[in-house]
Structure 1
Amino acid sequence: MSVELLAGYGMRLTGLPDLTFGMTQDDIVASWRGRRRYRPFVCGMWAIGINLTGVDVAACGQELAFEYARVGRLTRYYRNGVEGLHPHEPVLFEDVDLFSWPAVEVVDFLRDSGHDVSGGPTWFRVDRGLTLGRAADEDRFTHAALSSRTPAPGLAWMGESARAAQ
């Protein structure tokens, strides 16, 4: 299975129906029928999430329409209390796996592909609709959010105050 973030469209999950921007919360619940769903916290929006291998996927919206897709790496603890990341499903945007390659290489690839990329060092905005983030001690992105709106709304995992401090 893979997760594909599609600018202006929404999210494609292999083996499940596409989630297109504008879908209702009920439509998303029906699309994910048979999957264990949960309600992630996203400030000021409704949200529905599912866990896939190593990634947490959430569809979020305001009022009635899906307008924000969020994907994050799941963590686990290895022996001796050392934290590590689960193996994960590919999370794709423009044919690059956002979480498998070093962040600097992903940013370079997206810039070389003609995308407007701004931000840094731990978060980047791509074409004002995709936001990528990572912890300061990680060399790879661990969070991605795609918005149907421009600019992308503040993210629960990295709010505007954290961005302003960058």
Structure 2
Amino acid sequence: MQIKTKKYQLDAKTYTPIAFSNVLKAWWWVWLIPAGLLLLFGVAAAIWSMAWLWWGIGVTVVLVGLYILFWYLQVVAITQHEKTKTLFEKYNYIITSKEILVMIDEQRGSPIAWDKIIKIAKNKEAYVLFLSKVEFFYLPFRIFGGDNQLKMFETILKRKGFNDIKTIETYAKKA
């Protein structure tokens, strides 16, 4: 059973929101730090003065803003860096039950074993196969040869143990 897709190039407008939301979800526990700080300043406000609460709100808002800005800039930098240009080249994929071949052209390609994929998500227009927090394959439904290939792909995913495919929302801007 082999599925050969059409060529597809991931663009930065699609990559950025998926990678950014995945990073924020992966580092979920960091959100406990501003909550703890706010609680600490709230206790200080209850004991001493209400001015502590306003300081706490201000510090928390600044920390949350800096944290979000830091990760957003990291993800956007990935789209600009020379070493990660290969993420945004045009590829076609040959998907089998053994591996995923990422093909640059008919002769050159790279195999990706199924055990390298840490999770799979699906949105209304594509499958997203995550290799890390910021590395993934974005496989739109339109690159498959039709409904039969999509069903075959879903069968391969189930056989590989990816039964709990999460549905995600992407906020990619349409060009």
Q: TM-score, normalised by structure 1?
A: 0.25
Q: TM-score, normalised by structure 2?
A: 0.24
Q: Relative contact order: is structure 1 or structure 2 higher (C-alpha 8 Å, sep ≥ 6)?
A: 2
Q: Which has the larger radius of gyration?
A: 2
The structure carrying a bigger strand percent of its residues is: 1
The structure carrying a bigger helix percent of its residues is: 2
